[in-house]
Amino acid sequence: MSQAAQRPAGPAARGGGRPTLEAVAALAGVGRGTVSRVINGSPRVSDKARAAVEQAIAELGYVPNRAARTLVTSRTDSIALVVPETETRLFSEPFFNDIIRGVSAELADTEMQLLLILVRTKKERERLATYLAAHRVDGVLMVSVHEDDPLPTLLERIDMPSVLVGRRSDVEPLSYVDADNAGGARMAVRHLLRRGCTQVATITGPLDMEPARARLSGYRRALEEADLGSDEALVGRGDFTESGGREAMRGLLERRPDLDAVFCASDLMAAGAMQVLRETGRRVPDDVAVIGFDDSIIARHTDPPLTSVRQPIEEMGRTMARLLMDEISEEGRARRQVVLATELVVRSSA
Amino acid sequence: MSQAAQRPAGPAARGGGRPTLEAVAALAGVGRGTVSRVINGSPRVSDKARAAVEQAIAELGYVPNRAARTLVTSRTDSIALVVPETETRLFSEPFFNDIIRGVSAELADTEMQLLLILVRTKKERERLATYLAAHRVDGVLMVSVHEDDPLPTLLERIDMPSVLVGRRSDVEPLSYVDADNAGGARMAVRHLLRRGCTQVATITGPLDMEPARARLSGYRRALEEADLGSDEALVGRGDFTESGGREAMRGLLERRPDLDAVFCASDLMAAGAMQVLRETGRRVPDDVAVIGFDDSIIARHTDPPLTSVRQPIEEMGRTMARLLMDEISEEGRARRQVVLATELVVRSSA
DNA sequence: CGGTAATGTGGGAGCGCTCCCACGAGGCAT
DNA sequence: ATGCCTCGTGGGAGCGCTCCCACATTACCG
């Protein structure tokens, strides 16, 4: 019987036939330890041995077995991107795409794998908790956390490296990356004031979300700086949705029909608001100037095209990944916070 | 505050301290084999033993170590979602989100992990090839493949379970899930004809992509069915982008200023086309009716709101996942193809 | 010149699991 | 009774790697 006959399909066909580190060692005429050292970039290898090993690796097309490595190191070389599903619809649509793009770009020349975990139900959330507690990933990226989300607390407790995009409140203990929501809002309102508007209203997001609060405070700040008293009748409550924007706009017009500008905390709400303005015979921007937030795809397609505050979303994704990698490699590192600048994209609505 | 003292850091803190199968066995007073059988749902376990094991698992909060399992079974319990990055921007934006949502929903009560892999550069593509050839995942989901993409061929060769969304051509050998592009286009054009339009133009996508070809053929089919000869001057070439739509529209108007309807193979192109129609003083839908494709978010925000063909994207994602799971579990299973129906969402543009 | 310190190397042990073989206990026909 | 299944069970072997210790070998010091 020849060697080959000893391995009759089955296990071999199931993926067992790939070259192992041992095979590389044999071909290169060195020991397993040396091959391992070469692969892991240890400096304690002679040039000669390294060359032989690299040659053998290339020849065999060897790729290290991740599971075996994980088993012994208990590093998984993968991180999870956790997205509460309820959120995904609220987001200005490209948000999620761009975050992923950024994260993925930053991870590209790393060994890190990106695991995508959407959380819908309570049951799934519990399952995820177990999963994380079992340290199945080296780190966690969390998108859009509500104030009362228990997951971040868990992450903190089990000391899992993790980075949020957006913070839960302004005393967020975990690492996070955020856009300068307050600054963006302030910039938008200043733009409206510079245009000559004097009765500037705002439509806020749901105020149990930090970004919504921050945008509102930026609005207030800009008015204060211009020595314009803030009239609470000029503040309408929305929920980041289009219909929410419509309703809030109607309420504002009822209370303050003389308003001449609206800063909306999302483009979707701005789109809703503009519909109402048009219905009530007001022209944008001549009668009422409108600014949105997010610079989402719809901003370019409203009529007139919407001036909006852009967040550097892809950059945020990249930064998150970078922070997380650092947190993973430097054990016991302090949590970090990064706030990235926003930018006003001026179109025709203001 | 003294949490740190609890765990002396080092190996234990690195994740080594979790209960193993052996610990469960000891606590339950059975052998390792029995615990393993319980976990993997083998029927050959007495009720008594099973109960004892389940009790022990709950007590210890045991979660099996995936790496160890992978090492011996060479199943990874994870699948990759591969997205060529160049594509993501082209997509009607929610596409990607919805696919993910669908896939994730289907995977929710499975052990399967979802790995997200964006491919940007040639180098990354090669790396992915190595990765896949090393069988690092049990299966692959591929979004948007170009005809000349070498990856599907690789998947075929290494006999990796895989499902595409959209096919490369109509003789696609791999499993795929697709929307009925031709049917949707046909439906759209019939709607235009029923409205009384007689000079129906179309703006196509890039014809090296199957969906673009299919939508064009649906357009032709509808015209044939109505015994309207097809005039090649009524066919404008676009590229799925807004500016492409604008240019194609200008070309069409030059050739056939008498046209009274345009079926566009994407919403973005429809938006571009509508801009040009407005600029040239034509009213939509009175002078020229317009229909888009994708029912993307911008369809609701154009002026007038765009009638569009909707694809059941989330359903496509779910179906993909289901097909892939089947392909993974039933070895040697024939590849399957699923085409899902599209739907015309009528708004004001036609 | 010996002695100590680096430097490079091989290979045993063991990570936590599944697979599978061997074995005892019971069931049912002969 | 004897034989021969089936069922449930325990535990050895081994998946492919990294870690680490022991052992060369060479370099450098006084």
Quick one: pLDDT at residue B280? 96
Please tell me whether residue A195 adopts helix, strand or coil conformation.
coil
CA B298 to chain A, closest CA, distance in angstroms equals 6
Q: How confident is the model at residue A88 (pLDDT cuts 50, 70, 90)?
A: low
Report the alpha-carbon distance of residue B243 to residue B198 in Å, rounded: 26
Report the alpha-carbon distance of residue B146 to residue B168 in Å, rounded: 6
pLDDT at A128 > cutoff 70: yes
pLDDT at A1 > cutoff 50: no
State mean pLDDT over A133-153: 87
Report the alpha-carbon distance of residue A339 to residue A316 in Å, rounded: 9
Quick one: pLDDT at residue A11? 33
Quick one: pLDDT at residue A92? 55
Inter-chain contact A74–B136, Cβ cutoff 8 Å?
A: no
> Closest-CA residue in chain A for B106?
A118
Which domains can be identified in chain A, with CATH numbers?
A: 4-64 (1.10.260.40), 78-179+314-341 (3.40.50.2300), 181-310 (3.40.50.2300)
| Residue with nearest Cα to nucleotide D13 C1' | B72
Residue B169 is classified by DSSP as S
Among A70, A97, A104, the residue with its CB nearest the CB of B67 is A70
Residues in chain A closer than 8 A to B74 (CB atoms): 14-16
E strand segments, B243-342:
261-264, 289-293, 307-310, 337-340
Give the pairing type, strands B235-237 and B261-264: unpaired
Report the alpha-carbon distance of residue B138 to residue B152 in Å, rounded: 15
| Residue with nearest Cα to nucleotide C9 C1' | A34
Residue whose tokens read 């080594």:
B16
Report the alpha-carbon distance of residue B118 to residue A102 in Å, rounded: 10
Inter-chain contact B71–A94, Cβ cutoff 8 Å?
A: no
Inter-chain contact B96–A97, Cβ cutoff 8 Å?
A: yes
Positions of strand D less than 7 angstroms from a protein CB: 7-21
pLDDT tens digit string along B290-345?
999 999 888 988 889 999 999 999 999 999 999 999 999 887 788 899 999 999 99
Inter-chain contact B67–A76, Cβ cutoff 8 Å?
A: yes
Quick one: pLDDT at residue A89? 60
CA A336 to chain B, closest CA, distance in angstroms equals 19
Low-confidence ranges of chain B (pLDDT < 50): 1-16
CB B210, CB B180: distance < 8 Å: no
Quick one: pLDDT at residue B79? 96
Q: How far is CA A317 from CA A95, A261, A296, B303, in A?
A: 10, 33, 16, 33
CA-based nearest residue to B107, from A187, A124, A242, A156:
A124
Task: Report the distance from CA of residue A159 to the C1' of nucleotide C22 in Å, as an integer.
Answer: 46
Residues with CB under 7 A from strand D: A 16, 18, 20-22, 32-33, 36, 39-40, 62, 64-65, 68-69, 71-73; B 29-34, 36-37, 43-46, 48-50, 68, 71-72
Residues in chain A closer than 8 A to B113 (CB atoms): 115
State mean pLDDT over A35-57: 93
